[in-house]
Amino acid sequence: MRNVLMSIAFSTCLLGVTADLPNNNAQATDNVSQDSTRDRSSDVVSQPLSGDPIRGKDLYQVSCIVCHGPQASGGVGPRLVNNPVLSNDQAFWKVVYEGRHVMPPLKGAITEQQMTDIRAWLQTLR
């Protein structure tokens, strides 16, 4: 049963990321080039992106809520509210791009801008 839930959660996460949210253009084709903002040798963001928490909330609702729960309170995935990884750039991008435990790697499935928007919204939660 757990494997079935994990498959559903994984599929929902990947499918939700490309959802076309009204007036948000929240598709993997954001106008931010991943190559222009990433240092290829270290795979760390080289130019800080500005996150939009309003768009991040919408993206979270269609892509992350399945595992991390409403208001990022936790579920299959850990609680993200006040999670220390949100304030550590290197750790944050490592988890996002490489995955951790049951979280799949999101590199190539989500743009840096989309993830920066989600992170900006998560950082508003207390």
Phi, psi of 63 (to 5 degrees): -130, -25
Q: For 66-107, how does the pLDDT look when each residue is reduced to its tens digit (9 = 90+)? A: 999 999 999 999 999 999 999 999 999 999 999 999 999 999
Question: What is the pLDDT at residue 37?
Answer: 42
Question: What is the pLDDT at residue 48?
Answer: 63
Question: Where do the domains of the chain lie, and which CATH numbers do they carry?
Answer: 2-122 (1.10.760)
Decide which of 74 and 1 is more confident: 74
pTM: 0.65
Q: Which amino acid is at 36?
A: S
**Spatial CB neighbours of 26, under 8 Å, sequence gap ≥ 6:** 19, 20, 55, 58, 59, 62, 114
Q: For 14-45, how does the pLDDT look when each residue is reduced to its tens digit (9 = 90+)? A: 444 444 444 444 433 333 334 434 443 345 44
Do residues 36 and 28 make contact, with C-beta atoms less than 8 angstroms apart? no
